[in-house]
Amino acid sequence: MNRSTQIIICISLFSLWLSVQCSVAGQKTDIPHESAPTDPAPTDPAPTDQLKPKKITCLYIIREDYNGLILSYPSQLFFDSVKNEIYITDSGNNRILIYTYDFYPLLCIDKSNGIESPIGLAVDPEGYIFVSQSSGSKQKRARISILSPSLRWKKDIFFEGFENSDGFSPKNIAISKVGRFYVTGNSFHGVVVLNKDGTFSHLLSPVDRLGKGEEQKATICDVEIDRSGRIYLLSEDMGRIYVYDDKENFLFKFGQKGGGSGKLSRPRGITLDNRNKRIYVIDYMRHTANAYSEDGRFLFDLGGKGWGKGWFQYPSDIATDDSGDVLVADTFNNRVQVLKLEEFPSVAVAEKVKPEDIIAKELVKETKPEAPAGEELAEQMAAQYYILTANMNLREKSAASSRIIRLMKKGEEFEILGQDKHNELTSWYLIKTGSGRTGWLCGIYRGKVMFEKKK
């Protein structure tokens, strides 16, 4: 080895050492998580084979109801996984709108149903709707109103049994497996826990400190409960999420107050993505949503301030559906955006995917739909032409997440070319419109037929 080669090697080794030292010195430190000695929160979770977003696409924008009335400051979202329906609190119009899983406007809940000033809501597995309401002109006390599955008013739950209960203004509601209600309040420390019959049980109040400040009870603005019964409390003031098990034993906390990427400035809403095992938190002031792993590790953020698709203006809530698509209450843009996150696996996950698996999956996608079967369908096919009895979205494929080709109006004629039966109550139809365009529409939704024979 000559002298010049030795000098080059020495310089390379010194440069490598220097870059390592600079990267260590430049690492950022988190605000200390001061908490009770029993806090078992992992400080640096080990990396996992999480799927990362490759592309974020705006699938759909919800702007209006069935009659064309535009949304006004939508503030809260709820996805009912039992009926696959989307609930939107349309604050500016003092009502709640219900949409089907493919974003078709279905129903409106307003004063005629006993709902005067809705804020948040939850739906139990039996279909009962629980709406938190602030004081109004007719009812001076804040309350939770209960509606039956047929939207009939059942009763109101008023708050009592704890300090300042008369002034408690409910915001968001989560219902546990045993039927307990966890209710957040406006600038209220902790959450109010109610028994199944609506009577007061107790308060659940995490104690924390911001930076090096004094310990205090954290105000909680949103609450969610996952399928295992874990309880997630979101604090806007602390910029943090507190996690409890189904027995209300504290597990860990995560999140960091701040205005930069990966931090929380004024978080307003939280949702649990059971399909992708993620936690999303919407940040009102940063106009973004942060994504976390189940153990509280920050993964990525999305959004930013703007008016176009994928951009937000002071968003106030977030939800996910059973497909893993993300819904954002884009409040000051007066709309709800539905976002799809296209993903690619890490190297470790990609190596497990066999080429033949991909080919098999593509073949399944290209398989032609089932032909209609049964005497009734045979009779319908003989008629050839049908008329829509409701406005429907014509889609590229037989899936709610598929691209919308056009909006078909009630009364339009079409031919049925094929059928794709999803389950006993829902069927998609491959149709040909009067103009010659082909596509898919959900002709039978939850047992309701959306078309009839042309007479």
Same-domain status, 262 and 399? no
Cα 156 to the center of its chain, rounded Å = 27
Same-domain status, 166 and 279? yes
**Residue 9 is assigned to a structural domain of this protein:** no
Q: Where are the alpha helices (DSSP H) in 51-124?
A: none
- Mean pLDDT, range 360-367, rounded to an integer: 40
- Mean pLDDT, range 170-183, rounded to an integer: 96
**Residue 329 is assigned to a structural domain of this protein:** yes
Quick check: pTM over 0.75?
no
In the prediction, which pLDDT does 318 show? 98
CA within 13 Å, CB half, 47: 7
Q: Which residues contact 364 (CB under 8 A, 6 or more apart)?
A: none
**Alpha carbon distance 121, 77 (integer Å):** 8
**Residue 270 is assigned to a structural domain of this protein:** yes
**Residue 289 is assigned to a structural domain of this protein:** yes
**Alpha carbon distance 198, 177 (integer Å):** 15
Same-domain status, 276 and 210? yes
**Residue 322 is assigned to a structural domain of this protein:** yes
Say yes or no to pLDDT of 47 above 70.
no
More confident residue, 389 or 334: 334
**Residue 354 is assigned to a structural domain of this protein:** no
Same-domain status, 298 and 392? no
Say yes or no to pLDDT of 32 above 90.
no
Is 266 in contact with 284 (CB distance < 8 Å)?
Answer: yes
**Residue 360 is assigned to a structural domain of this protein:** no
Residue 431, token pair as written in the block: 């149709």
Same-domain status, 218 and 332? yes
In the prediction, which pLDDT does 390 show? 86
Same-domain status, 208 and 86? yes
**Alpha carbon distance 85, 68 (integer Å):** 19
Q: What are phi and psi of 345, to 5 degrees?
A: -80, 160
Same-domain status, 438 and 385? yes
Say yes or no to pLDDT of 279 above 70.
yes
User: Residue 406 is part of a domain; what is its CATH number?
Assistant: 2.30.30.40
Same-domain status, 321 and 437? no
- Mean pLDDT, range 281-304, rounded to an integer: 95
The residue written with tokens 């939107």 in the block is 88
**Alpha carbon distance 443, 429 (integer Å):** 6
Report how many helices (DSSP H) and strands (DSSP E) the chain contains, helices first: 4, 34
Cα 170 to the center of its chain, rounded Å = 20
Count structural domains, the chain.
2
Selection from 256, 323, 330, 254 nearest residue 287 by Cα: 330
In 274-324, beta strands by DSSP E: 278-283, 288-293, 298-303, 317-320
**Alpha carbon distance 274, 130 (integer Å):** 22
In the prediction, which pLDDT does 397 show? 87
Domain that holds residue 140: 52-347
Residue 271, token pair as written in the block: 């949702």
Which band of pLDDT confidence, cut at 50, 70 and 90, is reported for residue 211? confident
Of the three residues 347, 362, 388, the one that is the final residue of a domain is 347
Same-domain status, 333 and 381? no
Beta bridge partners of 430: 418, 440
Same-domain status, 116 and 193? yes
Q: Which tens digits make up the pLDDT trace of 68-79?
A: 999 999 999 999
**Alpha carbon distance 429, 382 (integer Å):** 15
Same-domain status, 343 and 380? no
User: Residue 291 is part of a domain; what is its CATH number?
Assistant: 2.120.10.30
More confident residue, 418 or 381: 418
For all residues of the chain together, what is the average pLDDT? 83
Selection from 257, 267, 271 nearest residue 288 by Cα: 267
In the prediction, which pLDDT does 402 show? 82
Which band of pLDDT confidence, cut at 50, 70 and 90, is reported for residue 344? low
**Residue 35 is assigned to a structural domain of this protein:** no
Q: Which tens digits make up the pLDDT trace of 49-98?
A: 455 666 889 999 999 999 999 999 999 999 999 999 999 999 999 999 99
Same-domain status, 324 and 389? no
What sign results for the dihedral spanned by CA atoms 210, 213, 215, 220? Answer: negative
